[in-house]
Amino acid sequence: MQPGPFAAPWAGGDGLAGCSPPAGPAPLGATEWGEKGRSLPAKPCPFCTLRPPTASVWGTGGRTLHGPLFPGAGQEGAMFVHTRSYEDLTSPEDGAAVARSPEERRGEPAEPTSMEQISKDFSELSTQLTGMALDLEEEMRQSKEGKLELSPQTTRRDSVLSGKEEEDVTMDAWRMHRKHVFVLSEAGKPVYSRYGSEEALSSTMGVMMALVSFLEAEKNAIRSIHADGYKVVFVRRSPLVLVAVARTRQSEQEIAHELLYIYYQILSLLTWTQLNHIFQQKQNYDLRRLLAGSERITDNLLDLMAHDPSFLMGAVRCLPLAASVRDAVSTSLQQAKAKSLVFSILLSGNQLVSLVRKKDQFLHPIDLHLLFNLISSSSSFREGEAWTPICLPKFNSSGFFHAHISYLEQEMDLCLLLVSTDREDFFTVSDCKRRFQERLRRRGVHHALQEALRTPFYSVAQVGIPDLRHFIYKSKSSGLFTSPEIEAPYVQEEEKERLLGLYQYLHSRAHNSSRPLKNIYFTGPRENLLAWVTSAFELYICYSPLGTKAGAISAVNKLMKWIRKEEDRLFILTPQTY
């Protein structure tokens, strides 16, 4: 569904109305901007009743606080780098490690003293990737013999070994994909393509690089091309160029946001130091030699971004869990520590159960998303204890950490990541896992975890608001968000993607660099949506098309009270440190 013309102020119909930030201390009336930027007469804005409540409005659970308190805003510090929104992703970068204060950098692993050390670390990672590729090859072989049914992730085409090579880039089916992603070097050498083989697309990528270089020769830079319903978005991160060709509802900013995730994914496998050293030595180097076996990880990341709102929100979702159980898990992680540990992370699927960090060290949500993606890309991590180098590019893009990855039990979807600064510390870190499991058993929370895993998502019906279909709430200070399971009428995969597309559209309007909106009301034939963005939180709700604006605003207040009541279960309010 394409967005229709903007409706009259606060009127129904297929349209959108927005309330821009006040220009002065007094609240302004609603101003709606037409497609050509003309300003329509102001009328009283129903969104002006949406004011950030104080703690007394939503309740504080007995805590003494000063000023506004929003659901999900922990009072004991935060686990993640604080980002107001995803603009952090699209800010200019020179490719070097992200600048941080001395306090933030304290305790980081020392930068490698030599390229030999980095190469040694990367060779270990290459072994891991090769193993993943061999696992997939065996899985596909058994499938052809009728011994094994392929997982849905593999059958979608995007396997590293077969589907990619079989897709003919000259066929209409290849052109009909809604989004293509290409990665190439500044010499025009292909590095990665979402669909089709890189060899068949080498001339296409050469043309892309020629276009970039031509404009640079004119002391200009190309960011995007808009034509015939397509957006072609370019992101330059020397020595790589990333290009997306999309016909989706996403804005140019959001497509660039996804391309940067791909860039960070590559850095997580190579490090920025290694990547630059390679191309300084040989500008036309074929990077696919080093990335062989990692295509499945990148494919999986693109799949996740197409279905998981975590990437859109730039935040992490927690597994709904009783506060007493989560506290017991976090305390057990905290006590099962080692000198070299920086982060201890327990997750289920793409949801966070607990995270314990070294004091003064903060993990960026992007780095955690990359860890989630690595784990979900391969089932081989269920077979035992893995010890693999991994770069966390938003924390330190110059060197590798070493991650101990294992599942607590093969039958339980609980994966434990222990991130260490010492590449020789496998057995010590492995013992941390053993001690963690012992403490879980002693505290008697094992059964409670199993029960929580049976219902990893809650139903929107629990909120008790008629006509409410779905919502996303993000606490900016904690870097966490919550949303219910996507239910009817969004059961089919294409309907789920359409709903996420609507959220993407509202998000892009709310964070538009030239004219951001604080409040947005969208009406359509199949659903109505409302967005409310403040300095402390973001809220997006979807409800029945039969609902009214007054009903939507009333629903927001009820929803915020419900989230406040359930926040101990939905968020990590008291993160632990070593």
The reported pLDDT for the residue numbered 11 is 33
The CA distance from 173 to 19, in Å, is 42
pLDDT above 60: residue 257: yes
Provide the pairing of β-strand 224-227 with 190-193: unpaired
Pick the residue with more confidence: 18 or 365? 365
In the CATH scheme, what architecture does the domain 316-456 have? 2-Layer Sandwich (3.30)
- Phi, psi of 469, rounded to the nearest 5 degrees: -105, -35
Lowest pLDDT segment from 100-109, 209-218, 328-337, 419-428: 100-109
Where does residue 317 rank: exposed (0-12), middle (13-18), buried (19+ CB within 10 A)?
A: buried
Lowest pLDDT segment from 108-117, 186-195, 306-315: 108-117
Spatial CA neighbour of 308 closest among 189, 162, 472, 114: 472
Q: Highest-confidence range of 114-123, 220-229, 274-283, by mean pLDDT?
A: 274-283
Mean pLDDT of the chain: 78
The CA distance from 413 to 75, in Å, is 30
Quick check: 451 and 320 in contact, CB under 8 A?
Answer: no
Lowest pLDDT segment from 29-33, 311-315, 506-510: 29-33
Pick the residue with more confidence: 324 or 513? 324
Lowest pLDDT segment from 50-64, 231-245, 492-506, 529-543: 50-64
Provide the pairing of β-strand 341-348 with 351-357: antiparallel
pLDDT above 60: residue 426: yes
Lowest pLDDT segment from 60-74, 202-216, 561-575: 60-74
Q: Is the peptide bond before 466 cis (omega within 30 degrees of 0)?
A: no
In sequence order, the β-bridge partners of residue 396 are 392
Question: Which band of pLDDT confidence, cut at 50, 70 and 90, is reported for residue 411?
Answer: confident
The reported pLDDT for the residue numbered 121 is 52
**Residue 7 amino acid letter:** A
Q: Is the peptide bond before 489 cis (omega within 30 degrees of 0)?
A: yes
Pick the residue with more confidence: 503 or 547? 503
Quick check: 259 and 86 in contact, CB under 8 A?
Answer: no
CA distances from 506 to 100, 127, 129, 253, 540 (A): 31, 43, 38, 13, 8
The reported pLDDT for the residue numbered 72 is 76
- Phi, psi of 402, rounded to the nearest 5 degrees: -125, 125
The CA distance from 13 to 4, in Å, is 9
Question: Is the pTM of the predicted complex or chain greater than 0.75?
Answer: yes
pLDDT above 80: residue 51: no
pLDDT in tens, 541-572: 999 999 888 999 999 999 999 999 999 999 99
The reported pLDDT for the residue numbered 45 is 53
The reported pLDDT for the residue numbered 19 is 57
Pick the residue with more confidence: 197 or 91? 197
Question: Which band of pLDDT confidence, cut at 50, 70 and 90, is reported for residue 207?
Answer: confident
Query: 255: which 2 tokens?
Result: 């497509």
The CA distance from 210 to 226, in Å, is 18
Decide whether 115-307 matches 316-456 in CATH topology: yes
The reported pLDDT for the residue numbered 15 is 52
The reported pLDDT for the residue numbered 216 is 73
State the DSSP H helix or E strand holding residue 403, giving kind and residue range, or none if neither: strand 396-407
The reported pLDDT for the residue numbered 63 is 40
The reported pLDDT for the residue numbered 69 is 62
% of the chain at pLDDT higher than 90 = 53
Quick check: 79 and 363 in contact, CB under 8 A?
Answer: yes
How confident is the model over 47-54, as a mean pLDDT?
56
How confident is the model over 178-193, as a mean pLDDT?
90
Lowest pLDDT segment from 36-45, 351-360, 424-433, 560-569: 36-45
Across 80-149, the runs of DSSP E, i.e. the strands, are none
- Name the fold adopted by 115-307: Beta-Lactamase (3.30.450)
The reported pLDDT for the residue numbered 250 is 87
Query: 380: which 2 tokens?
Result: 């081989």
pLDDT above 60: residue 538: yes
Pick the residue with more confidence: 164 or 523? 523
Distance between terminal CA atoms of the chain? 50
Lowest pLDDT segment from 195-204, 303-312, 498-507, 519-528: 195-204
pLDDT above 70: residue 174: yes
pLDDT above 90: residue 107: no
The reported pLDDT for the residue numbered 46 is 53
Quick check: 162 and 140 in contact, CB under 8 A?
Answer: yes
Q: Domain limits of the chain?
A: 15-73+457-570, 115-307, 316-456
Lowest pLDDT segment from 97-101, 369-373, 425-429, 503-507: 97-101
CA distances from 150 to 195, 297, 487 (A): 20, 17, 26
pLDDT above 80: residue 332: yes
Pick the residue with more confidence: 82 or 154? 82
Quick check: 318 and 571 in contact, CB under 8 A?
Answer: yes
pLDDT above 60: residue 208: yes
How confident is the model over 142-147, as a mean pLDDT?
45
The reported pLDDT for the residue numbered 513 is 84
User: For 423, which DSSP code?
Assistant: T
Across 247-340, the runs of DSSP E, i.e. the strands, are 316-318
* Greatest Cα pair distance in the chain: 72
